[in-house]
Amino acid sequence: MFRSICGGLALAACSFSVLSGAPRAQEDLSTLPMRFALHQEGPADACGASCRLLISASGMITADTPHDFDAFVRGHNVRGATVVLDSKGGSVLGAIALGRTIRGLGLATTVGRVRDQSGHGVRRAWVWPRAECQSMCPFVLLGGVKRTIPSEARVLVHQIWLGDRRDDAAAASYSAEDLVLVQRDIGRLVQYTLEMGGGAELLDLALRIPPWEPMRLLSRDELRRTHLDTGVERVSPSAPTPVSSGVNAPAASGVNAPASPVSLSDGGRSEINPLGWVMTERSGAATLVRRHPLTVEGDKIGAFEVALACGPRQGTYTVTYAETRLSPDDRDATAVKQVDMWIEGKTEPLDVVSSRLNATPRQLETLASGAVAADLVQSFAEAGSDSLTLRTANGVAPGTLIRVGNTGFAQAYPQLAAACAAHPHLETRAELTAPTH
């Protein structure tokens, strides 16, 4: 995302995380343009003379957000107020202008969601700390003269990217003008960060994370080192204790291993590795294939291919995952133990067929396979700008988490569906081997 969430330059907002315990109505508003409201913290018997004047700032940052905030403050006395941020990010230039306005007014900033409550005829508010400040939001946070971040809040950063190509950045095309736009706004962001007293490490952490990886969650130590958190955390009066929640993955289902191998390129652009999903044929079977670079915090460590073919039974498809991972040391050479695919909100574990280290060249080659319901694949094909996510883990080295867009999927999927419908009793699978560079 670059200038706006829908186009131009903005920090890409793909967090892979869901807050627990927050009201559903608030989550539904998270993609709307940022809105502001004034609240008085309370009750007075809890915070006394230290009760804060709060400005709730929730929603996406757009090019119009600085003007909306200017209009808001003209109608209110906001002296000494604290801006409470809850945002998935948005426009780079909008965030910079908003942050400068906050600094010019001498306001403090924090992360949270403001909740109103009434008692004894007096309307007061408290700050729900389980909120997220993503993407360009941390740079707005930097505008506060004093900045405090509750321990329950999450601050996440990501690269800036062209907003109209963030959903499937690896399959998009870019012009020289696009690169000029990116570099110009990065320069403005650098200037703003230094102007606000932020650390250069904040820019380094953000700009290393590509849009197909999950956002980088900043640790408490990083929040202090980057100067995003400059004050002592305070607990809002009457705030309930948050309750954590977990996600249970379904049990793995066994699928026969793919047969003979084919090689895989490194995920770059070439005639054998076109952008997006493409139909091909493997051992006479129709196969829908997508290739993608494998990265960890922007560093390329290999490449992978995910493929869909006719499933072992009607109403299913077989999904296969093949990966080559460069292994500079023994720690990174540990065999992959787990591969999961998240599609349409459901987790589909894949069976690891093999994960072995080759000596020459030194690289780890992994194969995994599983079955997925046809209705999930159909939903993915019908989504205008959706993605599936592939996660790997070995229990030793850091795992990978890559979001793969659906560029070309809707156009190619009908061919796969037709091929499988023509042979409902024929079990075919994509045939893969560990990819080569």
In this predicted model, which residue has the larger pLDDT, 17 or 352? 352
Q: How far is CA 356 from CA 170, 205, 362, in A?
A: 27, 32, 11
3-state secondary structure of 309: strand
Interhelix angle for 92-104 vs 65-74, to 10°? 20
- Tokens 């249970």, residue located: 248
What are 236-272's pLDDT values in tens digits? 554 443 333 333 333 333 333 333 333 343 333 433 4
Q: What pLDDT was estimated at residue 231? A: 80
With beta carbons less than 8 A apart as the criterion, state whether 347 and 249 touch: yes
Q: Do the strands 400-405 and 387-393 form a parallel or antiparallel pair, or are they unpaired?
A: antiparallel
The amino acid present at 173, given as its one-letter code, is S
How would DSSP label each residue in 35-83? Answer: EEEEEEB--HHHHGGGPPEEEEEESBB-TTHHHHHHHHHHTS--TT-EE
- In the chain, what percentage of residues exceed pLDDT 90? 57
3-state secondary structure string across 251-288: CCCCCCCCCCCCCCCCCCCECCECCCCEEEEECCEEEE
Phi (first) and psi of residue 412, to 5 degrees: -90, -30
Both tokens assigned to 44: 């007075």
pLDDT at 389: 95
CB distance 391 to 340 below 8 Å? yes
**How much is the pLDDT for 53?**
93
User: What is the amino acid identity at position 273?
Assistant: N
Q: Output Rg (C-alpha) for the chain, integer angstroms.
A: 24
CB 169 within 8 A of CB 387: no
> What pTM value is reported for the model?
0.76
Rounded to an integer, the average pLDDT of 303-317 is: 93
**3-state helix, strand and coil shares in percent for the chain, rounded to the nearest 5:** 25, 35, 45
Question: What is the rounded distance in angstroms from the CA atom of residue 319 to the CA atom of residue 388?
Answer: 12
Rounded distance between C-alpha atoms, residue 64 and residue 120, angstroms: 38
Q: Which residue has the tokens 């505008």?
A: 143
- How far apart CA 95 and CA 64 sit, in angstroms, is 10
Distance of CA 284 to the CA centre of its chain: 37
CB atoms within 10 A of CB 406: 23
CA count, 13 A, side-chain hemisphere, 145: 11
Q: Which residue has the higher pLDDT, 324 or 359?
A: 324
pLDDT of residue 248: 35
What CA dihedral angle connects 23, 349, 156 and 33, to 10 degrees? -50
Report which residue type is found at 34: M
Average confidence score pLDDT of the chain: 81
User: What pLDDT sits at residue 395?
Assistant: 79
Backbone angles phi, psi at 417, to 5 degrees: -60, -40
The encoded tokens of residue 86 equal: 């809850």
Q: Is the peptide bond before 361 cis (omega within 30 degrees of 0)?
A: yes
- The predicted model gives 44-56 an average pLDDT of 80
pLDDT average, residue stretch 412-433: 72
Whether 276 has a pLDDT exceeding 70, the answer reads: yes
User: DSSP code of 385?
Assistant: S
At residue 152, does pLDDT exceed 70? yes
Buried b (16+ CB within 10 A) or exposed e, 307-325: bbbbbeeeebbbbbbbbbb
344-397 confidence digits (pLDDT tens): 889 999 999 999 988 778 889 999 999 999 999 999 999 877 889 999 998 777
Tracing tokens 């793909």 back to the chain, one arrives at: 14
Going by C-alpha positions, the residue among 327, 306, 321 that lies closest to residue 406 is: 306
How would residue 425 be classed by pLDDT, with cut points 50, 70 and 90?
low
